[in-house]
Chain A
Amino acid sequence: MKKTLATVLTVLSLSTVLLLHPARAISEDKPAAPEVKIDNFTFGPMELTVPVNSTVTWVNKDDIPHTVVATDGAFKSRALDTDQKFSFKFEKAGTYTYYCSVHPKMLGKIVVQ
Protein backbone atom coordinates (compact mmCIF):
# COMPACT_ATOMS: atom_id res chain seq x y z
CA MET A 1 0.00 0.00 0.00
CA LYS A 2 2.77 2.37 0.98
CA LYS A 3 4.57 1.48 -2.22
CA THR A 4 1.48 2.25 -4.30
CA LEU A 5 1.05 5.62 -2.63
CA ALA A 6 4.66 6.45 -3.27
CA THR A 7 4.21 5.53 -6.91
CA VAL A 8 1.11 7.69 -7.20
CA LEU A 9 2.91 10.61 -5.58
CA THR A 10 5.87 10.18 -7.88
CA VAL A 11 3.61 10.10 -10.92
CA LEU A 12 1.76 13.18 -9.65
CA SER A 13 4.93 15.12 -9.02
CA LEU A 14 6.29 14.12 -12.45
CA SER A 15 3.01 15.23 -14.01
CA THR A 16 3.36 18.56 -12.23
CA VAL A 17 6.86 18.94 -13.58
CA LEU A 18 5.58 18.07 -17.05
CA LEU A 19 2.68 20.52 -16.73
CA LEU A 20 4.82 23.32 -15.36
CA HIS A 21 7.78 22.79 -17.70
CA PRO A 22 6.41 21.18 -20.82
CA ALA A 23 9.07 22.63 -23.06
CA ARG A 24 11.84 21.36 -20.86
CA ALA A 25 10.35 17.90 -20.64
CA ILE A 26 10.04 17.70 -24.41
CA SER A 27 13.58 18.90 -25.04
CA GLU A 28 14.89 16.21 -22.72
CA ASP A 29 13.17 13.57 -24.80
CA LYS A 30 14.33 14.99 -28.10
CA PRO A 31 17.12 13.04 -29.79
CA ALA A 32 20.41 14.73 -30.67
CA ALA A 33 20.34 16.97 -33.77
CA PRO A 34 20.32 14.63 -36.77
CA GLU A 35 23.71 14.45 -38.44
CA VAL A 36 25.11 12.66 -41.47
CA LYS A 37 28.84 12.02 -41.49
CA ILE A 38 30.62 11.98 -44.82
CA ASP A 39 33.45 9.54 -44.37
CA ASN A 40 35.45 7.45 -46.83
CA PHE A 41 33.28 8.56 -49.77
CA THR A 42 30.11 7.40 -48.00
CA PHE A 43 27.14 9.16 -46.38
CA GLY A 44 26.58 7.68 -42.92
CA PRO A 45 23.89 6.74 -42.28
CA MET A 46 22.97 6.33 -45.92
CA GLU A 47 19.31 6.51 -44.94
CA LEU A 48 18.08 8.72 -42.10
CA THR A 49 14.49 9.16 -40.87
CA VAL A 50 13.58 12.44 -39.13
CA PRO A 51 10.37 14.20 -38.07
CA VAL A 52 9.05 17.15 -40.08
CA ASN A 53 10.85 20.44 -39.34
CA SER A 54 14.10 18.70 -38.45
CA THR A 55 17.36 20.31 -39.43
CA VAL A 56 19.84 17.76 -40.72
CA THR A 57 23.53 18.60 -40.69
CA TRP A 58 26.13 16.96 -42.91
CA VAL A 59 29.79 17.10 -41.88
CA ASN A 60 32.66 16.11 -44.17
CA LYS A 61 35.28 13.97 -42.41
CA ASP A 62 37.20 13.17 -45.63
CA ASP A 63 40.41 14.75 -46.93
CA ILE A 64 38.56 15.31 -50.20
CA PRO A 65 35.76 17.85 -50.77
CA HIS A 66 32.22 16.61 -51.21
CA THR A 67 28.83 18.15 -51.91
CA VAL A 68 25.31 17.34 -50.75
CA VAL A 69 22.83 17.77 -53.61
CA ALA A 70 19.17 16.71 -53.67
CA THR A 71 18.29 14.86 -56.87
CA ASP A 72 15.12 16.99 -57.15
CA GLY A 73 17.01 20.22 -56.48
CA ALA A 74 15.44 20.81 -53.03
CA PHE A 75 18.86 21.58 -51.54
CA LYS A 76 22.43 21.95 -52.71
CA SER A 77 25.57 22.61 -50.67
CA ARG A 78 28.75 24.25 -51.79
CA ALA A 79 31.81 21.99 -51.85
CA LEU A 80 32.53 21.06 -48.24
CA ASP A 81 36.20 20.82 -47.37
CA THR A 82 37.39 18.71 -44.44
CA ASP A 83 35.24 19.31 -41.31
CA GLN A 84 32.96 21.79 -43.06
CA LYS A 85 29.22 21.41 -42.51
CA PHE A 86 25.98 21.94 -44.38
CA SER A 87 22.50 22.06 -42.82
CA PHE A 88 19.03 21.92 -44.28
CA LYS A 89 15.65 22.15 -42.54
CA PHE A 90 13.07 19.67 -43.82
CA GLU A 91 9.68 21.36 -43.52
CA LYS A 92 7.73 18.93 -45.69
CA ALA A 93 7.26 15.20 -45.26
CA GLY A 94 8.64 13.03 -48.01
CA THR A 95 11.65 11.05 -49.19
CA TYR A 96 14.62 13.10 -50.30
CA THR A 97 17.33 11.31 -52.24
CA TYR A 98 20.62 13.11 -52.61
CA TYR A 99 24.16 12.57 -53.89
CA CYS A 100 27.61 14.11 -54.03
CA SER A 101 27.82 15.97 -57.35
CA VAL A 102 31.63 15.58 -57.30
CA HIS A 103 31.50 11.82 -56.68
CA PRO A 104 28.05 10.81 -57.91
CA LYS A 105 28.47 7.20 -56.78
CA MET A 106 27.89 8.58 -53.28
CA LEU A 107 24.15 8.35 -52.60
CA GLY A 108 21.99 9.06 -49.54
CA LYS A 109 18.37 9.39 -48.49
CA ILE A 110 16.50 11.44 -45.88
CA VAL A 111 12.99 10.25 -44.99
CA VAL A 112 10.92 13.04 -43.40
CA GLN A 113 7.70 11.98 -41.63
Chain B
Amino acid sequence: MEAKSIILPGTTGLIENDPNHDGVDRRGFLKCMAWAGTGAFCLMAGGVMKSFALGPQPAKTHHAGELSFVQISDSHMGFNKAANPDVAATLKAAVDKINALPHPPEFILHTGDISHLSNPEEFDNVDQILKATGKQVFFVPGEHDVLNDNGASYRQRYAKDAKGDGWYSFDAKGVHFIGLVNVLNLKAGGLGSLGDEQLEWLEDDVRHLKASTPIVVFAHIPLWTIYPQWGWGTDDSARALSYLKRFGSVSVLNGHIHQIMQKVEGNVTFHTAYSTAFPQPAPGTADGPGPMKVPAEQLRSVLGVSDVNFVRKHHSLAVTDSTLA
Protein backbone atom coordinates (compact mmCIF):
# COMPACT_ATOMS: atom_id res chain seq x y z
CA MET B 1 0.00 0.00 0.00
CA GLU B 2 1.30 3.40 -0.92
CA ALA B 3 0.96 6.35 1.37
CA LYS B 4 -0.94 9.15 -0.22
CA SER B 5 -0.42 12.67 0.91
CA ILE B 6 -2.95 15.38 0.29
CA ILE B 7 -1.67 18.89 0.56
CA LEU B 8 -3.90 21.79 -0.27
CA PRO B 9 -2.74 24.78 -2.21
CA GLY B 10 -2.32 27.57 0.29
CA THR B 11 -1.73 25.34 3.27
CA THR B 12 1.90 24.53 2.75
CA GLY B 13 3.02 27.72 4.44
CA LEU B 14 1.22 26.96 7.67
CA ILE B 15 4.21 25.88 9.69
CA GLU B 16 7.02 27.93 8.34
CA ASN B 17 8.79 28.93 11.47
CA ASP B 18 9.71 27.34 14.74
CA PRO B 19 8.51 29.61 17.54
CA ASN B 20 8.89 26.93 20.20
CA HIS B 21 12.43 26.06 19.13
CA ASP B 22 11.53 22.41 19.14
CA GLY B 23 12.91 21.59 15.74
CA VAL B 24 9.57 21.33 14.04
CA ASP B 25 9.23 23.11 10.75
CA ARG B 26 7.31 22.95 7.53
CA ARG B 27 9.27 19.95 6.40
CA GLY B 28 8.03 18.10 9.47
CA PHE B 29 4.48 19.02 8.59
CA LEU B 30 4.83 17.73 5.07
CA LYS B 31 6.40 14.54 6.30
CA CYS B 32 3.45 14.04 8.60
CA MET B 33 1.06 14.53 5.74
CA ALA B 34 2.96 12.06 3.63
CA TRP B 35 2.77 9.44 6.33
CA ALA B 36 -0.81 10.05 7.27
CA GLY B 37 -2.16 7.53 4.81
CA THR B 38 -0.36 4.66 6.44
CA GLY B 39 -0.86 5.53 10.06
CA ALA B 40 1.08 8.46 11.35
CA PHE B 41 1.20 10.02 14.71
CA CYS B 42 0.57 13.72 14.40
CA LEU B 43 0.97 15.73 17.55
CA MET B 44 -0.31 19.24 17.70
CA ALA B 45 1.35 21.33 20.36
CA GLY B 46 0.68 25.04 20.60
CA GLY B 47 -0.41 25.13 16.99
CA VAL B 48 2.69 23.32 15.81
CA MET B 49 2.44 19.85 14.45
CA LYS B 50 5.04 17.19 15.09
CA SER B 51 5.09 14.01 13.13
CA PHE B 52 6.26 10.56 13.96
CA ALA B 53 5.85 7.59 11.71
CA LEU B 54 4.33 4.71 13.59
CA GLY B 55 6.64 1.77 14.07
CA PRO B 56 5.62 -1.79 13.40
CA GLN B 57 4.28 -1.96 16.94
CA PRO B 58 2.30 1.22 17.50
CA ALA B 59 1.51 0.30 21.10
CA LYS B 60 5.10 0.83 22.11
CA THR B 61 5.46 4.26 20.54
CA HIS B 62 2.02 5.59 21.19
CA HIS B 63 1.70 8.65 23.36
CA ALA B 64 -1.39 7.61 25.24
CA GLY B 65 -3.36 10.65 26.28
CA GLU B 66 -5.64 11.38 29.17
CA LEU B 67 -8.57 11.19 26.84
CA SER B 68 -8.77 8.95 23.81
CA PHE B 69 -11.63 8.81 21.38
CA VAL B 70 -12.17 7.73 17.81
CA GLN B 71 -13.69 9.58 14.88
CA ILE B 72 -15.39 7.69 12.08
CA SER B 73 -17.27 9.22 9.20
CA ASP B 74 -19.27 8.76 6.03
CA SER B 75 -20.47 5.17 6.40
CA HIS B 76 -23.03 5.69 3.60
CA MET B 77 -24.92 2.55 4.58
CA GLY B 78 -27.08 1.60 1.61
CA PHE B 79 -24.56 2.65 -1.03
CA ASN B 80 -23.92 -0.33 -3.33
CA LYS B 81 -22.30 1.06 -6.47
CA ALA B 82 -18.96 0.20 -8.06
CA ALA B 83 -16.89 2.36 -5.71
CA ASN B 84 -17.81 -0.05 -2.88
CA PRO B 85 -20.49 -2.70 -3.30
CA ASP B 86 -20.25 -3.71 0.38
CA VAL B 87 -20.11 -0.73 2.72
CA ALA B 88 -21.28 -2.88 5.63
CA ALA B 89 -18.12 -4.98 5.33
CA THR B 90 -15.83 -1.94 5.40
CA LEU B 91 -17.71 -0.45 8.38
CA LYS B 92 -17.21 -3.78 10.17
CA ALA B 93 -13.51 -3.56 9.30
CA ALA B 94 -13.46 -0.09 10.88
CA VAL B 95 -15.05 -1.56 14.02
CA ASP B 96 -12.39 -4.28 14.09
CA LYS B 97 -9.76 -1.56 13.82
CA ILE B 98 -11.27 0.33 16.73
CA ASN B 99 -11.58 -2.79 18.87
CA ALA B 100 -7.92 -3.57 18.21
CA LEU B 101 -6.62 -0.21 19.41
CA PRO B 102 -3.94 -0.62 22.07
CA HIS B 103 -5.72 1.94 24.27
CA PRO B 104 -9.49 1.64 24.18
CA PRO B 105 -11.28 4.88 23.24
CA GLU B 106 -13.72 6.45 25.70
CA PHE B 107 -16.29 6.94 22.97
CA ILE B 108 -16.76 7.39 19.23
CA LEU B 109 -17.69 10.45 17.22
CA HIS B 110 -19.48 9.80 13.92
CA THR B 111 -19.26 12.89 11.72
CA GLY B 112 -22.22 12.15 9.49
CA ASP B 113 -23.46 10.47 6.33
CA ILE B 114 -24.32 7.52 8.50
CA SER B 115 -26.75 6.41 5.80
CA HIS B 116 -26.79 6.91 2.05
CA LEU B 117 -30.52 7.61 1.59
CA SER B 118 -31.81 8.35 5.13
CA ASN B 119 -33.68 5.01 5.17
CA PRO B 120 -34.50 3.59 8.64
CA GLU B 121 -33.00 0.19 7.74
CA GLU B 122 -29.71 1.89 6.79
CA PHE B 123 -29.54 3.58 10.21
CA ASP B 124 -30.52 0.26 11.87
CA ASN B 125 -27.70 -1.51 10.07
CA VAL B 126 -25.09 1.05 11.19
CA ASP B 127 -26.34 0.98 14.77
CA GLN B 128 -26.12 -2.80 14.78
CA ILE B 129 -22.56 -2.84 13.41
CA LEU B 130 -21.33 -0.10 15.78
CA LYS B 131 -22.75 -1.98 18.76
CA ALA B 132 -19.79 -4.34 18.45
CA THR B 133 -17.53 -1.55 19.71
CA GLY B 134 -19.40 -1.46 23.03
CA LYS B 135 -18.83 2.31 23.01
CA GLN B 136 -21.16 5.25 23.13
CA VAL B 137 -21.36 6.97 19.75
CA PHE B 138 -22.01 10.69 19.37
CA PHE B 139 -23.43 11.61 15.98
CA VAL B 140 -23.85 14.69 13.85
CA PRO B 141 -25.85 14.41 10.61
CA GLY B 142 -24.52 14.50 7.09
CA GLU B 143 -26.68 15.69 4.19
CA HIS B 144 -27.44 12.04 3.35
CA ASP B 145 -29.05 11.58 6.79
CA VAL B 146 -31.64 14.34 6.42
CA LEU B 147 -32.75 13.87 2.81
CA ASN B 148 -36.54 13.95 2.78
CA ASP B 149 -37.83 15.15 6.12
CA ASN B 150 -35.55 18.03 7.05
CA GLY B 151 -33.82 15.78 9.55
CA ALA B 152 -36.88 14.87 11.67
CA SER B 153 -36.21 11.12 11.70
CA TYR B 154 -32.50 11.70 12.30
CA ARG B 155 -33.26 13.86 15.35
CA GLN B 156 -35.78 11.32 16.63
CA ARG B 157 -33.14 8.60 16.50
CA TYR B 158 -29.86 10.33 17.34
CA ALA B 159 -30.49 13.73 18.81
CA LYS B 160 -33.61 13.59 20.96
CA ASP B 161 -32.12 15.76 23.68
CA ALA B 162 -30.23 18.05 21.32
CA LYS B 163 -31.10 21.62 20.47
CA GLY B 164 -32.56 22.95 17.21
CA ASP B 165 -31.70 20.74 14.26
CA GLY B 166 -29.62 18.44 16.44
CA TRP B 167 -26.70 20.42 17.87
CA TYR B 168 -25.38 19.79 21.37
CA SER B 169 -22.33 19.87 23.58
CA PHE B 170 -20.91 17.71 26.32
CA ASP B 171 -17.83 17.52 28.52
CA ALA B 172 -15.41 14.65 28.88
CA LYS B 173 -12.38 14.78 31.16
CA GLY B 174 -12.27 18.56 31.01
CA VAL B 175 -12.55 18.74 27.24
CA HIS B 176 -15.62 20.51 25.86
CA PHE B 177 -17.13 18.77 22.81
CA ILE B 178 -19.50 20.61 20.48
CA GLY B 179 -21.50 18.75 17.81
CA LEU B 180 -22.77 21.09 15.09
CA VAL B 181 -25.24 20.65 12.22
CA ASN B 182 -24.30 22.31 8.92
CA VAL B 183 -26.26 20.23 6.39
CA LEU B 184 -29.76 21.71 6.65
CA ASN B 185 -31.44 24.76 5.10
CA LEU B 186 -28.72 25.05 2.48
CA LYS B 187 -29.13 28.04 0.18
CA ALA B 188 -29.04 27.81 -3.62
CA GLY B 189 -25.47 28.41 -4.75
CA GLY B 190 -24.15 28.23 -1.19
CA LEU B 191 -22.04 25.94 0.97
CA GLY B 192 -22.74 24.22 4.28
CA SER B 193 -24.70 26.37 6.72
CA LEU B 194 -24.91 26.68 10.50
CA GLY B 195 -27.56 29.41 10.66
CA ASP B 196 -28.23 32.19 13.15
CA GLU B 197 -30.04 30.11 15.76
CA GLN B 198 -27.22 27.60 16.06
CA LEU B 199 -24.53 30.29 16.05
CA GLU B 200 -26.27 32.15 18.85
CA TRP B 201 -26.51 28.91 20.80
CA LEU B 202 -22.78 28.29 20.22
CA GLU B 203 -21.83 31.74 21.45
CA ASP B 204 -23.85 31.14 24.58
CA ASP B 205 -22.61 27.57 25.02
CA VAL B 206 -18.95 28.57 25.31
CA ARG B 207 -19.46 31.86 27.14
CA HIS B 208 -18.99 30.38 30.61
CA LEU B 209 -15.91 28.33 29.73
CA LYS B 210 -12.40 29.23 30.76
CA ALA B 211 -10.08 30.06 27.86
CA SER B 212 -7.89 27.17 28.94
CA THR B 213 -10.68 24.64 28.29
CA PRO B 214 -9.74 22.50 25.31
CA ILE B 215 -12.49 22.59 22.68
CA VAL B 216 -13.35 19.90 20.15
CA VAL B 217 -15.88 20.88 17.47
CA PHE B 218 -17.26 18.18 15.21
CA ALA B 219 -19.56 18.61 12.22
CA HIS B 220 -20.08 16.93 8.87
CA ILE B 221 -19.13 19.48 6.22
CA PRO B 222 -15.69 21.04 6.79
CA LEU B 223 -15.75 24.26 8.81
CA TRP B 224 -12.90 25.60 6.71
CA THR B 225 -13.08 26.32 3.02
CA ILE B 226 -11.40 23.46 1.24
CA TYR B 227 -12.88 23.65 -2.26
CA PRO B 228 -15.99 25.79 -2.64
CA GLN B 229 -16.50 24.72 -6.25
CA TRP B 230 -17.47 21.32 -4.85
CA GLY B 231 -19.30 22.74 -1.86
CA TRP B 232 -16.48 21.77 0.51
CA GLY B 233 -16.87 24.51 3.08
CA THR B 234 -19.41 26.20 5.35
CA ASP B 235 -20.73 29.68 4.58
CA ASP B 236 -20.85 30.95 8.16
CA SER B 237 -18.03 28.96 9.74
CA ALA B 238 -15.94 32.11 10.30
CA ARG B 239 -18.57 33.40 12.71
CA ALA B 240 -18.50 30.11 14.63
CA LEU B 241 -14.72 30.23 14.86
CA SER B 242 -14.82 33.84 16.05
CA TYR B 243 -16.58 32.63 19.21
CA LEU B 244 -13.74 30.17 19.80
CA LYS B 245 -10.84 32.58 19.23
CA ARG B 246 -10.10 33.12 22.89
CA PHE B 247 -9.55 29.42 23.58
CA GLY B 248 -6.03 28.08 23.69
CA SER B 249 -6.79 24.79 21.98
CA VAL B 250 -9.54 24.25 19.42
CA SER B 251 -9.76 21.12 17.32
CA VAL B 252 -12.24 20.90 14.47
CA LEU B 253 -13.11 17.43 13.18
CA ASN B 254 -15.07 17.01 9.96
CA GLY B 255 -15.97 14.41 7.34
CA HIS B 256 -17.81 14.84 4.03
CA ILE B 257 -14.82 14.87 1.69
CA HIS B 258 -13.82 11.22 2.19
CA GLN B 259 -10.11 11.91 2.52
CA ILE B 260 -7.80 13.18 5.22
CA MET B 261 -6.67 16.79 5.29
CA GLN B 262 -5.25 18.92 8.04
CA LYS B 263 -4.63 22.57 8.59
CA VAL B 264 -3.39 24.57 11.55
CA GLU B 265 -4.44 28.18 11.91
CA GLY B 266 -3.38 29.86 15.12
CA ASN B 267 -4.75 27.75 17.95
CA VAL B 268 -7.24 25.97 15.72
CA THR B 269 -6.44 22.61 14.20
CA PHE B 270 -8.68 21.39 11.40
CA HIS B 271 -8.88 17.76 10.43
CA THR B 272 -11.03 15.76 8.02
CA ALA B 273 -11.43 12.01 8.34
CA TYR B 274 -11.48 9.12 5.93
CA SER B 275 -14.81 7.62 4.95
CA THR B 276 -15.50 4.01 5.87
CA ALA B 277 -17.36 3.56 2.55
CA PHE B 278 -15.63 4.99 -0.52
CA PRO B 279 -13.00 7.60 -1.41
CA GLN B 280 -13.59 10.86 -3.24
CA PRO B 281 -11.10 12.62 -5.51
CA ALA B 282 -8.68 15.27 -4.25
CA PRO B 283 -10.03 18.77 -4.90
CA GLY B 284 -10.09 19.68 -8.58
CA THR B 285 -8.57 16.40 -9.75
CA ALA B 286 -11.83 15.16 -11.31
CA ASP B 287 -14.84 16.65 -13.06
CA GLY B 288 -16.88 16.29 -9.89
CA PRO B 289 -16.70 15.11 -6.29
CA GLY B 290 -18.51 11.79 -6.84
CA PRO B 291 -17.40 8.40 -5.48
CA MET B 292 -13.98 7.42 -6.78
CA LYS B 293 -13.52 3.89 -8.03
CA VAL B 294 -10.16 2.37 -7.14
CA PRO B 295 -9.03 -1.20 -7.80
CA ALA B 296 -10.79 -3.51 -5.30
CA GLU B 297 -7.53 -4.54 -3.66
CA GLN B 298 -6.72 -0.88 -2.95
CA LEU B 299 -10.08 0.14 -1.52
CA ARG B 300 -9.25 -0.44 2.14
CA SER B 301 -6.10 1.63 1.84
CA VAL B 302 -8.21 4.72 1.12
CA LEU B 303 -10.77 4.15 3.89
CA GLY B 304 -10.08 4.47 7.58
CA VAL B 305 -10.66 5.73 11.10
CA SER B 306 -9.12 8.53 13.16
CA ASP B 307 -7.84 7.86 16.65
CA VAL B 308 -7.59 11.03 18.73
CA ASN B 309 -5.60 11.49 21.91
CA PHE B 310 -5.62 14.47 24.15
CA VAL B 311 -2.67 15.10 26.48
CA ARG B 312 -3.46 17.87 28.92
CA LYS B 313 0.09 18.28 30.13
CA HIS B 314 1.24 19.12 26.63
CA HIS B 315 -1.84 21.12 25.81
CA SER B 316 -2.10 19.10 22.66
CA LEU B 317 -4.28 16.86 20.61
CA ALA B 318 -2.90 14.00 18.60
CA VAL B 319 -4.73 12.59 15.62
CA THR B 320 -3.75 9.25 14.16
CA ASP B 321 -5.34 8.38 10.84
CA SER B 322 -5.23 4.68 10.06
CA THR B 323 -6.51 3.03 6.93
CA LEU B 324 -8.51 -0.19 6.95
CA ALA B 325 -5.83 -1.98 4.90
Q: In the complex, are the beta carbons of A101 and B81 less than 8 A apart?
A: no
The chain B residues found within 8 Å of chain A, CB to CB, are 79, 81-83, 116-118, 143-144, 147-148, 186-191, 228-231, 287-291
User: Contact check: which of A42, A99, A104 meets B288 at CB < 8 Å?
Assistant: A42
Known: A41-B290, A63-B83, A64-B290. A104 touches B189 (CB 8 A): yes
Known: A71-B188, A97-B188. A63 touches B291 (CB 8 A): yes
Chain B residues with CB below 8 A from A98, complex form? 188
Q: In the complex, are the beta carbons of A41 and B288 less than 8 A apart?
A: yes
Chain B residues with CB below 8 A from A104, complex form? 186-191, 231
User: Contact check: which of A41, A67, A78 meets B289 at CB < 8 Å?
Assistant: A41
| Pair count A-B, CB < 8 A | 59
Number of contacting residues on A, CB 8 A? 23
Chain B residues with CB below 8 A from A65, complex form? 116-117, 144, 147
The chain A residues found within 8 Å of chain B, CB to CB, are 40-42, 62-65, 67, 69, 71, 78-79, 81-82, 97-99, 101-105, 107
Q: In the complex, are the beta carbons of B83 and A81 less than 8 A apart?
A: no
Closest-CB distance, B30 to chain A (whole angstroms): 30
Shortest Cβ distance from B82 into A: residue: A63
Interface residues of B: mostly helix, strand, loop or mixed?
Answer: loop
7 tightest CB-CB pairs across the interface, nearest first? A99-B188, A79-B147, A40-B288, A41-B288, A63-B81, A104-B186, A105-B231
Known: A41-B290, A63-B291. A102 touches B147 (CB 8 A): yes
Chain A residues with CB below 8 A from B83, complex form? 63
Chain A residues with CB below 8 A from B230, complex form? 41, 105
Cα distance A101–B148 in the bound complex, in angstroms: 10
Chain A residues with CB below 8 A from B191, complex form? 104-105
Shortest Cβ distance from B193 into A: residue: A104
Shortest Cβ distance from B192 into A: residue: A104
Known: A41-B289, A41-B290, A42-B288. A79 touches B118 (CB 8 A): yes
Q: In the complex, are the beta carbons of B147 and A105 less than 8 A apart?
A: no
